[in-house]
Amino acid sequence: MTDASIQVVVRKIIYIMVVEQGLRAGEGMSPQLLAMDLDRHGISDSDQRAALDLALRKGWLQKGPFDETQLTDEGFDMDFTQ
């Protein structure tokens, strides 16, 4: 998987969290629920792991106290029109 394709998956993940789930900065999803949504969108396990790793490193997502994947301010503010 190329860096560009990983970034496409990252944008899909954040889109799902913000637009479909209606989450705000600081809110998150359990790993199980997020994986179910990503599976529904046809994102493979390996693509999920690569994209989540990149999003965590870039600061768009963070791990919450109960292992949930949370949106950061930067992730929430991502521009989906690009």
Q: Which pLDDT score is estimated for 4? A: 83
Q: What is the pLDDT of residues 6-49, one digit of tens each?
A: 999 999 999 999 999 999 999 999 999 999 999 999 999 999 99
Q: Are 54 and 13 in contact (CB under 8 A)?
A: no
Q: Where are the alpha helices (DSSP H) in the chain?
A: 3-15, 31-40, 45-58, 73-76
Q: Dmax over Cα atoms in the chain, in whole Å?
A: 32
What is the predicted pLDDT for the residue at 81? 61
**Domain 3-76, CATH 3.40.50.10300 — does that match?**
no
**Is-contact 69 21, C-beta < 8 A?**
no
Residue 80, pLDDT > 70, answer: no
> pLDDT tier at 2 (50, 70, 90 boundaries)?
confident
